[in-house]
Structure 1
Amino acid sequence: MSSTVWIIAAFAAYMIMMIVIGALYMKKTNNSEDYFLGGRGLGGWVAALSAQASDMSGWLLMGLPGAVYAYGMGRAWIAIGLLTGTILNWVFISGRLRRYTIRANNSLTLPAYFENRFHDKKQILLIISSAVIVIFFLVYTASALAAGGKLFHLVFGLDYRIALTIGAAVILLYTFMGGFMAVCVTDFIQGMLMLVGILAVPIAALFLVGSENMTSLLDASGVAQGSQSFLNLMHSGGKAYTGMEIFSQFAWCFGYFGMPHILVRFMAVRDEKEIRKSRWIAVV
């Protein structure tokens, strides 16, 4: 069989597996806590890798490498900010958020937690936080779905809109069926695949392309000649960074404290011991 057939078969098997996972966890869902937080029984490995996979997604594999290739190592300040945000989030937010959401009338969502924690009888915090999540996550989710649609378009030659529809349909199906645990388990699997890909692709590329051809490719960005502009953390696109430009990229770290799809993992972890385990796995 041709390589294209194998690729199609692999993608089809992967999607079927996602749907099967959703069906399995649908049978294990007995109440609202099971559906929204997996019964607060999330293990350390699943919590860490699902959080990182949902955080990075296509941006880690496509966006950041492209930015570094186009503008140089100066864009590594984004990665430094992301690492800092991940560490601070797991150290200072994870354990506290889990404890306080349980104390606050066993809140199952962040808007519900704000309502219960601050005794918001008029539900102002509930409404505002819900609106913010819905509005801004429409954009965030759209970008993730767009990455999947472009991948299908490039690999299979499918029309972008059809590819986008297929990807969105599969995600919606296993999410509605299995709830939070189905999402976390599928994200865990995707996180493992991303980790393997990040490690394997550079090695495979060097092996297949060859060192000489790789050098000629990188020469276009100034890497092969040891370009100071490309390799310097204080430069981007051949220009020196200002302090504000460095801070604006490092400031990505502050976004972690308000990312609902990450924070909900903290709420669902089984216990404090699992949180400590998850912390190190996520950072590494």
Structure 2
Amino acid sequence: MQSIDIFPWDDHFNTGIQTIDTQHRKLVAILNSLATKMAYGSHQEGLSGVFDELIEYTLYHFQTEEAIWSKYLADDSLDEEHKSVHQSFIDTALRLKSEQDSKPLSELADDTLGFLARWLASHILDTDRHMSYIVFALQNGKSLEEAKVEAQTQMSGSSRLLINIILSIYSTLSSNTLHLMRELKSHIFFEEKIKYQEKYRQFLFELSVSFINIPLHDLDTAIDEALEKMASFVGADRAYIFVYDVNAQTASNTYEWCGEDIIPQLKVLQELPLSLMPGWYETHSRGEDIFIEDVTALPEGSL
């Protein structure tokens, strides 16, 4: 039985605290085991056993984390907030487990694996990384307030942008893996398409980890290269990134890649009224895609 990794691990996810990193890898391995069993329609007892293992090990991991954070952040609001986040996760995981007998396996997989993969990626890259920065600053002799400011600086600006990019890609990777799981279970897709989906998953994984720990001064170049890779993968001759300005009701092109003989439009595509692209902002705000099969069929006056 081929393993289905809904969360491919990469050492770039390490926080630098060995105990926590080892436990994170174990959590990811259990999650991927659960995904594999769901993909191949394992019987309920097998699923329940892996689910129990995931919850039990998560509780153990949270206890380890909280002991470390409390050692350095005792009575600080960050410590309490972290514990609250942990409890919220456990509550949701237990609720999802309680639904495994009442939901179809496909729906359970979507709800459970999607939530677990997205939460774990955010937990490791965002919350735990922030806390580890504070610990390292304290170990280097900073006061708690100085350590918190230093950690916040490390997590803000371009670093925050990088984290958001990676989490967005991992969310897409998770959704794509769930789609692949449904294909494996239903057996209605051709083998070549399944191979393509697996290739696409691997591409997204490699793209996402390439942004982890990248020097901030290389960010623009990395985004340009990522656009080229994405366009090449799907056979497109151009790729753009736009930023919405909700207050001004405009969208501006911030990054662009063009193939040979394609005229760049970066300087032209600035402060475009959202009225030219009705519904785009709302759709993207929900985390959904927009697919335009034929641009010539777009309403007159729109992009």
TM-score by length of 2: 0.28
Higher fraction of helix: 1
Higher fraction of strand: 2
TM-score by length of 1: 0.29
Higher relative contact order (CA 8 A, sep 6+): 1
